[in-house]
Amino acid sequence: MDITNQELLEISLKIERDGMRFYSELADTVTDPKVKDFFQLMSREEALHEKQFKRLIESKGHKNHGWENDLALRKFIDKEFQTDIFPPTQEIIDQLPKIGGIRKALDIAMDAERIVGEFFHLMQNACDDIEIKTLLTILEKSECEHLERVKSFRTRYLSENN
């Protein structure tokens, strides 16, 4: 099954919007200022990724970029994106009064950042447009940095609150 630019754009935008919503809703709910600031920062960065990716794909039009027949990317899309990466935030919010709620939110964030990084990596490997390939490499690196940032924040937060 061919992969279209429109399909990739829609998946990418959904991922970034869902991440932005997830972090933003958590930031609006938590009372700990450090946690609130962290979630707000992550929300802003997800919004920036959405703008970057949308601008680039739309500027390239409908020409082929190399990923149209990539089986690994197709398999990953079909496997990983059948459901939402970020769960409904209310499920997490209900648990926030307990430390386990913030731990769960951070665990979900780590999983989501890993999956999104893998997605951008597969897209970059399949792409033969150098400008898009470069942006995808930057986005993949950024998602890896997000993952490390969430891990680091989780470790600090849990050690300070145990």
Which whole-number Å values give the CA distances from 112 to 27, 72, 80, 129, in the listed order? Answer: 17, 19, 10, 26
The pLDDT value given to residue 42: 92
Render pLDDT for 103-145 as a digit per residue (tens, 0 to 9): 888 888 888 888 888 888 887 887 777 877 787 788 889 889 9
Token pair of 153, please? 């924040």
Domains in the chain and their CATH numbers?
5-160 (1.20.1260.10)
Q: Do residues 96 and 145 lie in contact, with contact meaning Cβ atoms separated by under 8 Å?
A: no
The pLDDT value given to residue 144: 93
The pLDDT value given to residue 37: 93
The pLDDT value given to residue 43: 92
The pLDDT value given to residue 151: 96
Segment (H or E) for 93: helix 89-93
The pLDDT value given to residue 32: 81
Residues near 65 by Cβ (< 8 Å), separated by ≥ 6? Answer: 5, 127, 128, 129, 132
The pLDDT value given to residue 88: 65
Gap between the Cα atoms of 12 and 6, Å rounded: 10
Q: Which residues of the chain have pLDDT under 50?
A: none
